[in-house]
Amino acid sequence: MPPLAAPYLAAAGLLVVAGVLKLLRPAATVQALRTQSLPSSTALVRLLGAVELAVSGAALAGLPVGAAALAAAYAAFTGFVALALLRGRPLTSCGCFAEPDLPPTWAHPVLTAGLAAVCVAVAVGERSGLPQLRGAGGWLAVGTLAGAVLIGWLAQVVLAELPRLVAASTLSSAPSTTATVAADRPFSLVPVRSAA
């Protein structure tokens, strides 16, 4: 079993979840693309979700092209979020998990860059995927799959829960502000000075 099998399978699994959610609830990703002045439409986001499912399927099947495409997908995610953070444009959501109110932190591009690096290593090294997992057999396969699930869950915490904690911490540390939903940017929290 390749040493990077667990994080690689986690990366592919996360992309399955992201792809399905973009197909079912594209609005957050449409908004994320729009705030960065990129092409955005429901049809485009659903197409992106379908591509994510195809890429993750190829990766899970252990195809070398799947590993390369998965690396490219994570590199693109890294670039998109880093660009938004560097521009300072309000990005109310990265759009990854179709959540409208999760502004990304710098942990997001660091994590996705790490996953991209894992996928590059798999693309140029030993194949990894579900067939290789099945071939490992026994406890090694179970342990690798458990590791992939754990890594995927931790990545989801960094991508989805950490931004919630940061937002809550930021709002609670500013006693002279209250949270309100901006009319021109639905789903975003904007600090507003109290009248007192």
Residues 101, 107, 108, 109, Cα dihedral to 10°: 140
Q: Could you state, in order of their start, the residue ranges of all structural domains in the chain?
A: 5-193
Residue 34 to residue 147: CA distance in whole angstroms: 36
Using one digit for the tens of pLDDT, what is the confidence trace for 83-125?
Answer: 888 887 766 666 666 555 567 788 889 999 999 999 999 999 8
Residue 102 to residue 32: CA distance in whole angstroms: 10
* pTM (predicted TM-score): 0.78
Using one digit for the tens of pLDDT, what is the confidence trace for 129-182?
Answer: 877 777 777 888 888 889 999 999 998 888 877 777 776 776 666 555 444 444
The pLDDT of residue 8: 93
Contact 78, 112 (CB under 8 A): yes
**Residue (of 45, 56, 55, 40) closest to 23 by Cα position:** 45
Ordered DSSP codes for 10-62? HHHHHHHHHHHHHHH--HHHHHHHHHTT----HHHHHHHHHHHHHHHHHHHTT
